[in-house]
């Protein structure tokens, strides 16, 4: 492995299921109530009230949106086997166990145990610098390219060790990534989408045509671009460029799609289109996304994990994280008290 060494931790650790919480010690919130205590600010109706900011009382109520999610799931028939508002249990597509990551002497990720259920959307939330993107990049070994990066622990894909048992090129084909800023190549729309398949040996024009069309359809942008396939992708709008990048990632038929704040640079209309797209993509793919937008996490994700200072504080069903968090730090963050 280039620029990284991988060791198993001496202490055996077990992956924590999403139903459990991992309240960690050693952070600036030392006076927070003990794990299991009612989180300060969380009230019975599912709203979380924030402290006064700039002389104006701030309050966030997630309960109505949770009810909307439940109603929408019932209408869609997506959760027939699960209680309304709860994501159905699913086997893990990817998982991390006892994960510690260092950039030279800096301990960026600390003892992370987490599973990512198949065909569900998992949101990673937390303030800047807490390790969300670092974890995301570790899942397909993007951190191999960072000098001085060292990883201990285990990352698995379908139960196989992603660092020891799977070739890095195969891993990155199976685990695609979309970045914060749209980054289309300076070539035609068609060549952008066909770039990955060509790299993996597909040369026949009819096969490429089929892949390009299907990928653009999967990214919900075929109707907008079908008459512009020969045009330079740099001439597209920001939202179109980002959906093109999603299509490019889907063209190699990944099993997992990583999205690192993929809507943060977009306007509200483009953001709404991509959020709707994410809901469709999870029918075929497992989606893991980093977001700073709390309402976005609530709108599109099935599971949510909250990170703080390199530690995973709490993970569980998205509805529970926003309306009934077990850790006061989680309640403070989703209420906007910090971060």
CATH number at residue 70: 3.40.50.300
Asked if residue 198 is part of any domain, the answer here is yes
Separation of alpha carbons 139 and 136, rounded Å: 5
The rounded mean pLDDT for the chain is 81
Asked if residue 43 is part of any domain, the answer here is no
pLDDT digits 0-9 by tens, 138-186: 999 999 889 999 999 999 999 999 999 999 999 999 999 999 899 999 9
Asked if residue 1 is part of any domain, the answer here is no
Asked if residue 153 is part of any domain, the answer here is yes
Look up the pTM and report it.
0.78
Asked if residue 165 is part of any domain, the answer here is yes
| Domains: count for the chain | 1
Q: How far is C-alpha 253 from the geometric centre of its chain's CA atoms?
A: 18
pLDDT of res. 90 = 80
| DSSP secondary structure of 269-309 | HHHHHHHHHHHHHTTTSEEEEE-S-HHHHHHH-SEEEEEET
Radius of gyration of the chain, Cα coordinates, nearest whole angstrom: 20
Is pLDDT of 29 > 60? no
| DSSP secondary structure of 121-151 | EEEEE-STTSSHHHHHHHHTTGGGGSTTEEE
Asked if residue 210 is part of any domain, the answer here is yes
Q: Which domain holds residue 247?
A: 6-28+48-335
Asked if residue 39 is part of any domain, the answer here is no
pLDDT of res. 61 = 59
Asked if residue 36 is part of any domain, the answer here is no
């Amino acid at each position: 492995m280039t620029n990284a060494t991988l060791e198993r931790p001496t202490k055996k650790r077990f992956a924590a299921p999403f139903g459990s919480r991992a309240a960690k010690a050693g952070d600036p919130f030392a006076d927070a109530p003990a794990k299991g205590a009612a989180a300060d600010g969380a009230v019975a109706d599912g709203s979380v009230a924030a402290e006064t900011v700039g002389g104006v009382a701030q309050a966030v109520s997630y309960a109505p949106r949770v009810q909307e999610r439940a109603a929408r799931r019932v209408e869609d028939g997506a959760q027939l086997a699960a209680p309304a508002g709860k994501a159905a249990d699913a086997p893990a597509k990817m998982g991390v166990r006892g994960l510690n990551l260092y950039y030279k002497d800096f301990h960026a990720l600390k003892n992370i145990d987490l599973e990512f259920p198949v065909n569900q959307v998992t949101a990673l939330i937390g303030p800047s610098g807490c390790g969300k993107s670092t974890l995301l990049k570790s899942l397909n070994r993007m951190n191999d390219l960072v000098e001085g990066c060292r990883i201990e622990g285990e990352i698995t894909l379908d139960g196989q060790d992603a660092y020891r048992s799977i070739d890095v090129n195969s891993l990155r084909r199976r685990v695609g990534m979309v970045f914060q800023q749209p980054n289309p190549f300076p070539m035609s729309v068609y060549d952008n989408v066909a770039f990955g398949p060509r790299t993996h040996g597909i040369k026949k024009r009819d096969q490429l045509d089929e892949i390009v069309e299907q990928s653009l359809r999967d990214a919900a942008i075929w109707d907008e671009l079908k008459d512009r396939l020969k045009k330079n992708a740099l001439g597209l709008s920001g939202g179109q460029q980002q959906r093109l990048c999603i299509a490019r990632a889907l063209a190699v038929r990944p099993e997992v799609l990583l999205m690192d704040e993929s809507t943060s640079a977009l306007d509200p209309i483009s953001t709404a289109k991509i959020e709707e797209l994410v809901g469709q993509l999870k029918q075929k793919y497992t989606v893991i996304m980093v977001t700073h937008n709390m309402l976005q996490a609530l709108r599109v994700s099935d599971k949510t994990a909250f990170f703080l200072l390199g530690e995973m504080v709490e993970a569980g069903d998205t509805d529970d994280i926003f309306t009934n968090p077990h850790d006061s730090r989680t309640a403070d963050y989703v209420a906007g008290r910090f971060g």
